[in-house]
Structure 1
Amino acid sequence: MLTHRHDRTAARGWTLRALLAALAAALLVATPWSSPNVSAHGSTSNPVSRNYGCWQRWGNDFQNPAMQQQDPMCWQAWQYDTNAMWNWNGLYREGTGGNYQAFIPDNQLCSAGHTQDGRYNSLDNPGAWRTSAISTNFTVNLVDQAFHGADYLRIYVTRQGYNAQTDALDWADLELRTSTGSYAPAGNYTANVTAPGRSGHHVVYTVWKASHADQIYFLCSDVTF
């Protein structure tokens, strides 16, 4: 009798463990594969990049229709492809051999030339993107979640006269303002930038060459000088 009772108790235990395992598996399947914790890379956090900013502001409330009025450029980006925000840290291009301008056409700079099967294309659209207020002497901060390291950062700023609300970004719109050396793997990298003679809405374009592979990140940040 005791043996049968022990067997039933053990069976219940195994059944409970099996149910818990099945529930855990279901949760894993339900979790988007594109979660930042799964494919951790990085982006500019200050001034914040377009898609990272959209994720910060609306990631917990991305279906809120108020976004359409309060943050219209983020709204169109979320509507185009939500994974551009969930994967805010994966906006890179591989295989350029360092000659990235040859692979990224004008009007496609913010999407890195329609990289990742066009996931980030909405970021190329000009418009009333939310801006970070900065002075003409500022610091770029880049978050490297995966500790890739950096062979260099190259930071461009749009020329005075560029209209960020009507003109998709071209290479000719940019002026290279800072080019750094390498950084050892860490969680954050900073670079000081000067961009005299600017006022109003501009774009800071950060190019980050990760050290671990032929992998370069292209990050558009909207600013107001």
Structure 2
Amino acid sequence: MHTARAYTPRRILLTLALLTAAALSQIPLANDAGAHGTTIYPETRNYGCLQRWGSSQPNEAEDPMCYRVYQENANAITAWKAVYANNTGDNYQQVIPDGQICSAGGQGETDYSPLDHPGPWRATGISPYFTVDVYDEARHGADWLQIYVTKQGYDPTSQPLRWSDLELVKTTGSYPGGSAHYVTDTSASGRSGHHVVLTVWKASHMDQKYFLCSDVNFG
């Protein structure tokens, strides 16, 4: 006759601990190398493509720039939260070349160079007095945000973006770790029409800066 094993409180606790350890071993560890996020308002070029089309091929006639990105490197859309460069120091404008600003100088987790192409990007209609909302999925915190806006007369449909085309309009203080959103109010008075808002986000966990281009229409 089979005798049932007696499960003492100590044996039960040991069994639960082993089961918990086994379950945790199946969970992939987070990659601490990247803060992983983007400007969700006004939405960046690749985040806008993702919101409109997901991982599907965009309609060329309706959204030609997203279609072009998809054809050149679809990962530039689906990997929307890793447009960063590491170890640029304080003089990041010397490290990120003209014409490669929206791709973080080619240092991100995939080839983001399609985001640098001038063309008829879909633009968010906003007031010259607007709010920037950066979403940080990893919640590492931000040492600061720096908000640039292109100068009046710049044409994003035909001109690659250069640092000389941009004006720094806002530098914020720090944002604590644990917060998913870094929000700041910004003014870009004296502008109308299609412009690019560049948000540079300095993550707090390492020298990692994000270069986030958003197309907007003032007016």
TM, length-normalised to structure 1: 0.79
Which of 32, 37, 44 is the matching residue for 1:42?
Answer: 37
**Whole-Å separation in 2 of the counterparts to 1:212 and 1:99:** 19
What is aligned with 1:172?
164
Check the 8 A contact 1:42/1:90 in 2, yes or no: yes
**Whole-Å separation in 1 of the counterparts to 2:162 and 2:111:** 19
**Which segments of 5 or more consecutive residues in structure 2 lack a partner in the other structure?**
1-25, 27-33
**Which segments of 5 or more consecutive residues in structure 1 lack a partner in the other structure?**
1-24, 26-38
What is aligned with 2:207?
214
**Whole-Å separation in 2 of the counterparts to 1:63 and 1:51:** 13
What is aligned with 1:98?
90
User: Is 1:51 aligned to residue 51 of structure 2?
Assistant: no
Check the 8 A contact 1:111/1:118 in 2, yes or no: no
What is aligned with 1:72?
64
Which has more helix, going by share of residues?
1
**Whole-Å separation in 2 of the counterparts to 1:143 and 1:58:** 20
Q: How many residues align?
A: 186
What is the percentage of aligned positions where both structures have the same residue? 54
Corresponding letter in the other structure for 2:165: D
User: Relative to 1, partners in 2 of residues 1:72 and 1:63: Cα closer, same or farther, differing over 3 Å?
Assistant: same
**Whole-Å separation in 1 of the counterparts to 2:54 and 2:154:** 30
User: Is 1:159 aligned to residue 154 of structure 2?
Assistant: no
Corresponding letter in the other structure for 1:43: T
Deviation at 1:118, TM superposition (A): 6.2
Check the 8 A contact 2:142/2:203 in 1, yes or no: yes
Deviation at 1:181, TM superposition (A): 0.7
Check the 8 A contact 1:109/1:169 in 2, yes or no: yes
Corresponding letter in the other structure for 1:218: F
* Greater than 3 Å deviation, 4+ residue runs: none
Deviation at 1:117, TM superposition (A): 7.2
**Whole-Å separation in 1 of the counterparts to 2:145 and 2:35:** 19
TM, length-normalised to structure 2: 0.81
Corresponding letter in the other structure for 1:54: C
User: Relative to 1, partners in 2 of residues 1:193 and 1:146: Cα closer, same or farther, differing over 3 Å?
Assistant: same
Cα deviation code 1:77-109 (max 9, x no counterpart): 011111111110000000112321111111111
**Whole-Å separation in 2 of the counterparts to 1:154 and 1:115:** 19
